[in-house]
Chain A
């Protein structure tokens, strides 16, 4: 049988500004295999979170076009009742901010049990409680019986993130989407949560989409990485290939902006990330931020090209890209 868990075809997610719709996710195609971790990296405004929310169909006011096939069922076209059967069961999500993602007025235990109740009616009240304690143990919560009755505000951020993970994995989902799961946490807690996710991956055999802005997190966690810029995937490759041989100018610029050994000045990408309304919709979207690259090097309709097996890059400009060492050129243009 096919190893493919999730297949996204020509997905566009648009939001309405004024009278028009603008695509935050623009014609994205990708696949996720069973038991694979796909990292999606980008800065704010890249569309990575909009993509995650589209897969779960959590946008309340967005126009979604294209196909999202989870085990060959199209989520985009699905009825709400069918969708609710899948959400929390076949696919689940881990959220960014553990401080706000839990209901402040509901005991922890009930919040986890709600997910069990919704998808496993056979499990009685006793069964649900037993499973909840089990889950709390699994995500490394000390004294689960006590935490079961506590409220979110009585737990630390790291503990709350573990609860959110427990909710997500309650029904052994096949697809787990983690949207910046450690951004709001301290470094040592981040390390613990990442180790936990890695451990759980072995146990529940889920395919994981890991959304983050942190290249370090991706390097540690992902099997494959997609880099997003302005609503598009600009580069996608197995993790070792991406870090050993980054090709797209944006990927290279991003890697160079992170402090590294023996680097005095960090690379600064010229200009600013365009807002949704002002996204360049034609040609290479990154072109305006690398103006020293001759316009002729960009494709008219940039496509993803397979450069080596599994390694795709958008636009031909990467072949001619170089960093300007000239300081004047590097000074960022602020209008």
Chain B
């Protein structure tokens, strides 16, 4: 039994229009996504803006209404918002992209980190403070700073305070939505290292949502590529990077700048070649609406939205 199982998830947003402002159409933000996750692993969800990757994460935790599909967590159906009970809300936490806006500027660090504790556990003031200090210690923020406000911290520190809040209830699954994309390179490294550390300590499972393939490659065991609400490819990190099958995946990988200037020309030509292939076979890989086809298994771990033949 999978730890988290998503079956044919659809999240549609209505488009209002016409004189009476009725729903005239839908934006299919997530359009039939299925995947399974095992405990203790990191799953990358990659896509460009508008691909539906964030919506997928937000739908799982219950921040978006699910149009159809099924989500099973530890074998229990938690699709409906009402079924997302206390245990679920304790076990699944989210880390947001922007450390500057995701922390309430008028609250002290103590209150920010203690908020989930107050919701789920009845602790005395002393116990609560002790727990918060322990958590801050885990995320490498000085436990003396519990009475400070978010603006007194740097971006990396804020993001780690966000992480402290997320791990306060010892969750099993963390959905990290672009957790480092607002941070500088060196601070990024700090947060990524740290996410890896607490993963092994707490046996965490991550759904790591990002647009940065380099970081996803570094962090994840398994990667899914999303395009216009659908999965185009899914596989182990090696499958995706060493044996990409879908033209969109190939294009994404070719777009990553190479850090070695000696490869510049090679990279440039490679990108031209991939772009050519992309334009030529676009109609084979996408249907009339420009959407990807159903995923097909090509190995035990690797599934690709290959052209429908015949």
Binding site for B on A (CB under 8 A): 43-44, 157, 186-191, 194-195, 198, 213-217, 219-220, 222, 239-240, 243-244, 253-255, 257-260, 263-269, 272-273, 331-332, 334-335
20 inter-chain pairs at a CB distance below 8 angstroms, sorted by A residue, are: A187-B211, A187-B213, A191-B254, A213-B184, A216-B257, A219-B259, A219-B260, A220-B258, A243-B261, A244-B262, A258-B259, A260-B259, A264-B196, A265-B193, A266-B218, A272-B156, A272-B157, A272-B187, A331-B140, A334-B142
User: What A residues does B298 contact at CB under 8 A?
Assistant: none
Determine the chain A residues whose CB is within 8 A of the CB of B192 once the complex forms: 259, 266
CB within 8 Å for A219 and B261 given contacts A187-B252, A263-B218: yes
Closest 10 CB pairs of A and B: A216-B257, A259-B218, A266-B189, A257-B189, A191-B255, A186-B48, A43-B184, A269-B186, A187-B255, A239-B261
**Taking the nearest CB of chain A, how far is it from the CB of B253, in angstroms?**
9
| Interface flag for B214 (CB, 8 Å) | yes
Once the chains bind, are A258 and B254 in contact (CB under 8 Å)? Answer: no
Q: Which chain A residues border B301 with CB–CB below 8 Å?
A: none
Is B185 part of the binding interface, using a Cβ–Cβ cutoff of 8 Å? yes
Given contacts A186-B48, A194-B257, A273-B154, 17 further A-B contacts (CB under 8 A): A157-B49, A187-B212, A188-B255, A191-B255, A213-B185, A217-B257, A220-B264, A222-B261, A243-B259, A254-B186, A257-B188, A259-B214, A259-B215, A266-B189, A267-B189, A272-B187, A332-B140
Q: Across the interface, do A253 and B261 meet the contact criterion of CB distance under 8 Å?
A: no
In the complex, chain A residues whose CB is within 8 Å of the CB of B262 = 240, 244
Q: Contacting A188 at CB < 8 Å: which of B140, B251, B259?
A: B251
Contacts of B258 in A (CB 8 A): 216, 219-220
Bound together, the chains give a CA A334 to CA B212 distance in angstroms of: 27
Inter-chain residue pair count (beta carbon < 8 A) = 110
Cβ–Cβ contact B260 & A190, under 8 A:
no
> Please, how many angstroms separate the alpha-carbon atoms of A194 and B267 in the complex?
12
CA separation between A272 and B184, bound complex, in Å? 11
Q: Is the CB of A266 within 8 A of B255?
A: no
Residues of B within 8 A of A259 (CB): 192, 214-215, 217-219
Check A195 against B271 for contact (C-beta < 8 Å): yes
A263 to B196, CA, bound (A): 13
A-binding residues in B (CB < 8 A): 48-49, 140-142, 154, 156-157, 184-190, 192-193, 196, 211-215, 217-219, 251-252, 254-262, 264, 267-268, 271
Pair A266/B257 contact, Cβ less than 8 Å: no
Identify which of B188, B252, B259, B268 contacts A215 (C-beta below 8 A).
B259
Complex CA–CA separation, A243 to B140 (angstroms)? 32
Select one of B190, B219, B267, B271 contacting A332, CB under 8 A: B190
Q: Which chain A residues border B49 with CB–CB below 8 Å?
A: 157, 186
In the complex, what distance in Å separates the CA atom of A221 from the CA atom of B127?
A: 55
Could you tell me the distance between the alpha carbons of A272 and B154 in the complex, rounded to whole angstroms?
8
- For residue B217, which residues in chain A have a CB less than 8 angstroms away from its CB? 259
**Complex Cα gap A222–B259 (Å):** 12
Chain A residues contacting B259 (CB-CB under 8 Å) are 215-216, 219, 243, 255, 258, 260
Query: Which residue of chain B has its CB nearest to the CB of A266?
Result: B189
A contact residues around B257 at 8 Å (CB): 190-191, 194, 214, 216-217, 219-220
Chain B residues whose CB sits within 8 angstroms of the CB of A157 once the complex forms: 49
Decide: A253 and B264 in contact? CB cutoff 8 A. no
Q: How far is the CA of A198 from the CA of B267 in the complex (A)?
A: 13
Check B256 against A216 for contact (C-beta < 8 Å).
yes
Known interface pairs A259-B215, A259-B217, A259-B218. Does A268 touch B256 (Cβ–Cβ under 8 Å)?
no
Query: B218 touching A43 by the CB < 8 A rule?
Result: no
Shortest Cβ gap from B4 to chain A (Å): 25
- Residues A335 and B252 in contact, CB atoms below 8 Å apart: no
How far, in whole Å, are A25 and B186 apart by their CA atoms in the complex? 21
Bound Cα distance from A144 to B268, whole angstroms: 27
